[in-house]
Chains A and B, each alone.
Chain A
Amino acid sequence: EDQVTQSPEALRLQEGESSSLNCSYTVSGLRGLFWYRQDPGKGPEFLFTLYSAGEEKEKERLKATLTKKESFLHITAPKPEDSATYLCAVQAKGGSEKLVFGKGTKLTVNP
């Protein structure tokens, strides 16, 4: 069974204090690993897709990396507007494009 575990469950940072979120996964065959951002009371918003170990993608203050067992979302010099829950999900090879999600990391960035 495909599984995704995210840590920590919650993270508080001061504005400008860089950190990383972790996503560990087990999947029969990885088609893609996805990062989404979710604001309270809203649907997830797509950030990145990673397909193979060693791949990295960046968007503004966020950088996502992938190994064979885990992914990291690095946040450099975060701002209060980066506060949200960050969800990680895996998509297995074969069949549908359905995503299996982790519970997320709730990030709070204080000014």
Chain B
Amino acid sequence: DAMVIQNPRYQVTQFGKPVTLSCSQTLNHNVMYWYQQKSSQAPKLLFHYYDKDFNNEADTPDNFQSRRPNTSFCFLDIRSPGLGDAAMYLCATSSRGAGDEKLFFGSGTQLSVL
């Protein structure tokens, strides 16, 4: 089945130690998103790529970066994680221009910061 795959499912890092989360998709969608979701909170958009065009949300901290080396993969880099960055990180995809605007989500990566 075509899908959005996130690795790892659980990630533990130390305060200030850089961490990278990965996302891959087999849907061949041209848009990829990263959302942050804290416990009992709404998913919050960090940034998205339309093809190679990067779009950052105005309130996304500089500590968060992203890379999309090709259509299938997207990475979230947290340069110096703080305790407040512990959250579920959700990757999603959509197909702009295809007439179907819904987002397809991966299972998420639960990040813990010690």
Contact = CB atoms under 8 A, between A and B. Distances in A.
Interface of A: 4, 31-32, 34, 36, 41-46, 49, 87, 91, 96-104, 106
Interface of B: 4, 6, 31, 33, 40-45, 48, 50, 55, 88, 90, 92, 94, 96, 101-108, 110
Instruction: Label chain B's interface by main secondary structure.
Output: strand
Instruction: Label chain A's interface by main secondary structure.
Output: strand
Nearest to B41: A103
B105 A99 contact: no
A3 B92 CA distance: 20
A102 B41 CA distance: 8
Contacts of B40: 103-104, 106
B42 A32 contact: no
Given A41-B110, A103-B40, A98 B101 contact: no
Given A42-B108, A87-B43, A99 B103 contact: yes
